[in-house]
């Protein structure tokens, strides 16, 4: 409040210039549409100039950086005086015109810097005769010991300083050398003289070689008249307005104004100072006393009926027992009401949980689980909301493992210290989707595949169902193959094994005995790795169940850009080949180390299109991940690339099934493990595998799916003209 009131200007007058406040009695120009000045008419000292182009405020021709009403001070920028040995002309004195404003003796000092230096200052009234000054001498650079210990001293070695007297104004400063020098000093050849704000300046030995400032801050002290308070108080131009008092200048010339105790504001402004409401200050009256504000002061008193004993407001002894009894009775009533509210709240929560349980299909799920023959041995569990809140510390943000379009995944620790991943959906489904959701939970709970994240159970008491999965602790596949996220790359043999494990898991989902499952969101971030880098397919939030007698499901297109099956995107019919396409993109990521979508590739930002284009132009080796490419596995990388290319065919019918993909990857791994025959035997055996026949004992031959798929690829490439 003091800062706001201190900056008051006359109505219509400029309040700021740049970032400098302009409080009255200072001002710029005249009030709009009047002939009245915005400043106090006293020797035109309070008439300032604002340069609109530079937003700088000037006192005469000197820049102003701050004006203080409380301290009656103004901070300006003053040039220094400089004299160098190699100059042909002597230095010119620098004159600072301040009018009746004086140089503050407490805030400033006079400093001379140099090694053969003399600096002096005087006033214009003495015809430029030196009133004071000092000499700084050093015939060589100070030793290192002085630099380390006395760097900031200004005691005569390279720097000297003197204080100002009182009431000095309109000064002249000049720097000079003691001797006439023909040779430039090897470490300093200039002398500097300056008046500077005491707190701003701190000497450094670096200044002997180069003083970096052309202007320095100086503090002026101002008064509003050359009269004393006694003489000025009866005059018409008396500057101190209502609720203010006059203070004589400490130099015996002029006076200043300040607000009286209990008032605040601008004492020079026509509106004067205004009362401070002390009662608005918290706890200003202690010990239960009431605050009463008055113009310029306040007092405290005890409320009616209370007695002031000097330290506190107290009740008479007999009146204490009545409030005490009422307080005890009131506390009892409050405790009873709180208990009843708590019981009612718990009953309401229980009813809400039961309602959510039924709306989320809990009864249907229990019915299906009870009909299962080995229900007593199943690991599927229906968790309570309290269990999962305790496991996640009430779903604290620090427990978040990841977020996606389907929901948020939290890390939880059950009562038996089992670490789990708890998925909380963003929004619940409508009543028509409850049966499908329960069937999906039931089917996923029966999946027991080492490469599929196990669904341990669910919670149906919340607004949206919560799914509880096993916890996989080694991050996603993308984290391990993306060079921007992980400097340590996993080798190609491990990548191929992860691809085979993932393909087996997806093939298992597609060929599940009761109802096939289409994952619909296969991507490298949904393939988790455990501490042994074993693949685990996760996130079935977008999955769909396909009845055995149907070949596809028509549904709203859903998935991740870059992995979406273009045929599914075009016609909206979801089938098993959609997962094949997504897995093909993952294979390409394993081969290239690139992400499915990269904007830096511009028109080829989608990895599948970029890969297909590179294959066409026979540039495969250029886009393969250099961290896994070597002469030994080059042939195998090309085979996997051919398989990936078949997986990302635009037409779903041209893609292999996940079962065929898994068999081919397993075949590659198996072939690599059993390479033990040397020379021509290896070539012969590989040729027979590539031709799709394996010799039998009776001389017949049997077709092998891995070899036949390679032949199909070659035939397809020829038929396609590529």
Report residue 3 as tokens: 């800062």
Whole-number Å distance between alpha carbons of 411 and 79: 66
How high is the pLDDT of residue 528? Answer: 93
Indicate which residues carry an active-site annotation.
521
Whole-number Å distance between alpha carbons of 56 and 65: 8
Q: Give per-residue pLDDT as tens, 382-422.
A: 888 889 999 999 999 999 988 766 678 899 999 999 999 99
Whole-number Å distance between alpha carbons of 290 and 587: 79
Q: From residue 465, give the alpha-carbon distance in Å to each of 407, 446, 457, 461, 541.
A: 11, 18, 11, 7, 11
Report residue 608 as tokens: 């599948």
DSSP code of residue 198: T
Whole-number Å distance between alpha carbons of 615 and 91: 79
One-character DSSP codes across 351-404 = HHHHHHHHHTTHHHHHHHHHHSTTGGG---EE--HHHHHHHTTTT-GGGEEEE-
Q: What count of residues does the chain have?
A: 722
Which residues in the chain show pLDDT less than 70?
Answer: 1-7, 86-90, 125-130, 140-152, 180-188, 252, 315-320, 368-379, 404-406, 426-440, 443, 512-515, 541-557, 602-603, 674-722
Query: Cis link prior to 25 (omega < 30° from 0)?
Result: yes
Closest CA to 296 of 278, 323, 321: 278
Q: Which residues of 669-707 are buried (b: 16+ CB within 10 A; e: fewer)?
A: beeeeeeeeeeeeeeebeeebbebbeeeeeeeeeebebb
Phi-psi group of 170: left, alpha or beta (phi > 0 → left; psi -120 to 50 → alpha; rest → beta)? left
User: What Rg do the C-alpha atoms of the chain give, in angstroms?
Assistant: 45
- Do 9 and 29 meet the contact criterion of CB atoms below 8 Å apart? no
Closest CA to 79 of 204, 174, 206, 177: 174
Q: How far is CA 450 from the centre of its chain?
A: 40
One-character DSSP codes across 167-185 = T--SEEEEEEESS--SS--
Report the sign of the C-alpha dihedral through residues 325, 328, 333, 334, in that order: positive
Q: Give per-residue pLDDT as tens, 49-86.
A: 999 999 999 998 999 999 999 999 999 999 999 888 76
The enclosing H or E element of 328 equals helix 317-359
Whole-number Å distance between alpha carbons of 213 and 203: 12
One-character DSSP codes across 548-599 = TT-S-EE----S-TTTS-HHHHHH-EE-HHHHHHHHHHHHHHHHH---SB-G
Name beta bridge partners: 109.
196
Whole-number Å distance between alpha carbons of 564 and 558: 8
Contact residues for 275 (Cβ-Cβ < 8 A; gap 6+): 243, 262, 263, 293, 295, 296
- Do 195 and 121 meet the contact criterion of CB atoms below 8 Å apart? yes
How high is the pLDDT of residue 437? Answer: 63
Portion of the chain with pLDDT greater than 70, in percent: 79
Whole-number Å distance between alpha carbons of 36 and 53: 25
Name beta bridge partners: 16.
21
Whole-number Å distance between alpha carbons of 81 and 101: 21
Average pLDDT, the chain: 81
How high is the pLDDT of residue 707? Answer: 39
Coil, strand or helix: which one is 194? strand
Backbone φ, ψ for residue 17 (5° rounding)? -130, 110
Query: Which residue has tokens 């009146």?
Result: 319
Q: From residue 30, give the alpha-carbon distance in Å to each of 6, 12, 237, 330, 373.
A: 20, 9, 18, 68, 98
Torsion, Cα of 490, 496, 498, 504 (10° steps): 180
Closest CA to 45 of 59, 63, 66: 59
Whole-number Å distance between alpha carbons of 519 and 82: 81
Torsion, Cα of 524, 525, 526, 529 (10° steps): 80
Closest CA to 581 of 566, 596, 598: 566
Whole-number Å distance between alpha carbons of 103 and 169: 6
Q: Give per-residue pLDDT as tens, 477-527.
A: 998 998 888 778 899 999 999 999 999 999 998 886 466 788 888 999 989
How high is the pLDDT of residue 704? Answer: 35
Query: Which residue has tokens 């140089």?
Result: 103
Coil, strand or helix: which one is 59? strand
């Amino acid at each position: 409040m003091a800062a706001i009131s201190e900056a008051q200007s006359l109505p219509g007058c400029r309040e700021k210039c740049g970032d400098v406040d302009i409080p009255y009695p200072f001002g710029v120009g005249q009030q709009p549409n009047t002939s009245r000045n915005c400043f106090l008419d006293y020797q035109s000292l309070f008439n300032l100039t604002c340069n609109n182009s530079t937003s700088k405020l000037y006192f005469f021709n000197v820049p102003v950086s701050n004006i203080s009403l409380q301290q009656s001070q103004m901070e300006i920028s003053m040039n220094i005086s400089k004299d160098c040995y190699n100059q042909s002309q002597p230095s010119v004195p620098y004159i600072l015109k301040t009018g009746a404003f004086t140089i503050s003796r407490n805030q400033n000092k006079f400093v001379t810097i140099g090694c053969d230096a003399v600096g002096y200052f005087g006033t214009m009234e003495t015809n430029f005769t030196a009133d004071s000054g000092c000499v700084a001498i050093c015939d060589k650079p100070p030793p290192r010991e002085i630099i380390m210990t006395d760097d900031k001293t200004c005691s005569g070695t390279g720097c000297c300083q003197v204080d100002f007297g009182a009431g000095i104004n309109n000064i002249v400063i000049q720097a000079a050398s003691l001797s006439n020098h023909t040779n430039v000093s090897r470490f300093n050849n200039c002398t500097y003289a300056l008046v500077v704000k005491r707190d701003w300046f701190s000497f450094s030995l670096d200044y002997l070689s180069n003083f970096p400032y052309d202007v320095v801050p100086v503090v002026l002290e101002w008064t509003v008249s050359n009269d004393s308070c006694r003489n000025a108080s009866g005059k018409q131009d008396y500057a101190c307005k209502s609720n203010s008092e006059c203070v004589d200048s400490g130099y015996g010339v002029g006076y200043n104004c300040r607000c009286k105790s209990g008032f605040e504001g601008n004492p020079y402004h026509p509106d004067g100072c205004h009362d401070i409401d002390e009662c608005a200050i918290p706890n200003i009256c202690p010990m239960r006393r009431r605050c009463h504000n008055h113009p310029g002061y306040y007092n405290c008193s005890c409320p009616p009926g209370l007695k002031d004993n000097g330290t506190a407001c107290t009740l008479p002894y007999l009146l204490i027992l009545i409030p005490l009894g009422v307080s005890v009775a009131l506390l009892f009533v409050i405790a009873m009401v709180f208990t009843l509210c708590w019981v009612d709240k718990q009953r309401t929560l229980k009813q809400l949980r039961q309602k959510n349980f039924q709306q989320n299909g809990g009864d249907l799920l229990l019915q299906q689980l009870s009909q299962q023959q080995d229900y007593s041995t199943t690991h599927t569990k229906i968790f309570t909301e309290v269990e999962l809140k305790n496991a996640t510390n009430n779903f604290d943000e620090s427990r978040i493992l990841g977020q996606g379009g389907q929901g948020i995944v939290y890390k939880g620790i059950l009562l038996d210290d089992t670490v789990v991943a708890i998925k909380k959906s963003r929004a619940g489904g409508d009543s028509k989707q409850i049966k499908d959701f329960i069937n999906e939970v039931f089917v996923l709970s029966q999946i027991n595949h080492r490469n599929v994240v196990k669904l341990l159970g669910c919670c149906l008491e919340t607004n949206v169902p919560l799914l509880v999965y096993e916890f996989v602790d080694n991050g996603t596949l993308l984290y391990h193959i993306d060079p921007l996220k992980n400097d340590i790359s996993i080798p190609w043999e491990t990548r191929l094994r992860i691809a085979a494990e993932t393909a087996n898991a997806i093939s298992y989902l597609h060929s599940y005995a009761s109802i096939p499952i289409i994952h619909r969101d296969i991507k490298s971030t949904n393939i988790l790795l455990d501490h042994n880098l074993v693949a685990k397919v996760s996130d079935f939030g977008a999955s769909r169940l396909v009845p055995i007698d149907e070949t596809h499901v028509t549904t709203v297109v859903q998935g991740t850009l870059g992995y979406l099956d273009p045929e599914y995107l075009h016609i909206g019919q979801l089938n098993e080949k959609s997962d094949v396409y997504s897995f093909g993109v993952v294979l390409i990521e394993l081969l290239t180390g690139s992400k499915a979508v990269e904007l830096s590739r511009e028109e080829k930002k989608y990895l599948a299109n970029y890969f297909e284009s590179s294959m066409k132009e026979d540039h495969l080796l250029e886009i393969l991940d250099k961290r896994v490419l070597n002469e030994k596995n080059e042939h195998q990388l090309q085979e996997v690339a051919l398989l990936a290319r078949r997986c990302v065919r635009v037409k779903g019918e041209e893609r292999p099934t996940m079962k065929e993909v898994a068999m081919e990857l397993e075949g590659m791994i198996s072939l690599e493990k059993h390479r033990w025959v040397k020379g021509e035997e290896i070539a012969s055996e590989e040729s027979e595998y590539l031709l799709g026949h394996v010799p039998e004992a009776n001389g017949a031959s049997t077709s092998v799916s891995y070899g036949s798929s390679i032949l199909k690829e070659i035939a397809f490439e020829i038929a396609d003209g590529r």
